[in-house]
Structure 1
Amino acid sequence: MLPFPILTFCLMIMWMLLNGFTLGHLILGSLVGFVAGWALASLRPEKPRLKKWYLLPKLAAIVIVDIIRSNFSVARLIVMGQKRPDSSGFILLPVQTENPFALAVLAVILTSTPGSAWLEYDSRNKTVLLHVLDLIDRDEWVAMIKNRYEVLLLEIFE
């Protein structure tokens, strides 16, 4: 009946603090709390199903190492200030998974790694548009993402 009882209670108290302590405001504040709780319950996503949860530490270790290495690479590019041809660009990355949790984790990984940013996911074509700061070989980037991250995410979530 009350999916979020603490939220309902807090909204009722907030309503009464803003409008006064009367019986009418108590009833109206309670109604606002109930409706807000039910509305939020309909937005609650399903729980992720991890088939091979024991691979999460391996994925986390790979991501942490990649983030550290990428930080050093981007810092070197910025600090050295080398005159180099503009090598940033966009990659259209085909993905196998349709699992929203796996896609969300992949988006966090790619965006938190300096030098790359997840821009768009096309669910019809199952492709991701990425921006890469130091793009030299598109095929190497695609292979690296698919072999390092997507393979593990497929094992973990599907």
Structure 2
Amino acid sequence: MIRRILPHPFMTLMLIAIWMMLVNRWAVGSLVFAIMLGIAIPLITAPYWPDSARYRRPGKIPAFLGIVVWDIIKANIAVSRIVLFMPRDQLRPAWISIPLELTQPEAISALAATITLTPGTVSCDLSEDGGSLLVHCLHAPEPQDVLDEIKTRYESRLKEIFA
């Protein structure tokens, strides 16, 4: 019954909070309108949402995020060194096709976002069959090492998280 009224309860809460922040004042009328929006928008958009992601081990998400944040910090330092100190003729950009073992769209999106968030790499395209991800690297003297790192560091952990 509650899932029919609130198909996406987290989205409802977020919409209420965002509306109240946008209004930037506390008033009962604003709160009532925020609640109306928070209920109406998820109800109207519910038919367009795919099935919710299934997490096999959601407890592993914080560890994965910690690894991603650490890798972003390291990559920022590495990219800064490349941009500031590496001669252009020594730069080895590369396009790498990463075959995917992930099948859930949410897991593939999380992998693509992780790659793109890490400085020096950008996920550019997903093959039509969803079997591989095309990634551009700013500097990859050994493209196979980059592929192996993405597969072991990110994809394997996302496989553990998602069913």
The alignment's TM-score, normalised by the length of structure 1, stands at: 0.73
Match in the other structure for 2:134: 129
Q: Which amino acid aligns with 1:113?
A: T
Q: Which amino acid aligns with 2:122?
A: A
Matching of residues 35-74 of structure 1 within 5 Å: 40-74=45-79
Matching of residues 110-125 of structure 1 within 5 Å: 110-124=115-129
Q: Answer yes or no: is the 8 Å Cα contact 2:103–2:130 preserved in 1.
A: no
Tell whether 2:84 aligns with 1:82. no
Q: CA deviation at 1:3?
A: 6.6
Give the unaligned 5+ runs of structure 2: 16-39
Q: For the residues of structure 2 that align with 1:51 and 1:2, how far apart are their CA atoms?
A: 26
Tell whether 2:157 aligns with 1:138. no
Tell whether 2:96 aligns with 1:91. yes
Matching of residues 100-115 of structure 1 within 5 Å: 100-115=105-120
| CA pair 135-43 structure 1, distance change in 2 beyond 3 A | same
Match in the other structure for 2:155: 150
| CA pair 98-123 structure 1, distance change in 2 beyond 3 A | farther
- What's the CA shift string for 1:53-81, capped at 9, x where partnerless? 11111101110110000000111111225
Q: CA deviation at 1:115?
A: 0.4
Q: Answer yes or no: is the 8 Å Cα contact 1:71–1:114 preserved in 2.
A: yes
Q: CA deviation at 1:125?
A: 6.3
What fraction of aligned residue pairs are identical, expressed as a percent? Answer: 27
Q: Answer yes or no: is the 8 Å Cα contact 1:74–1:115 preserved in 2.
A: yes
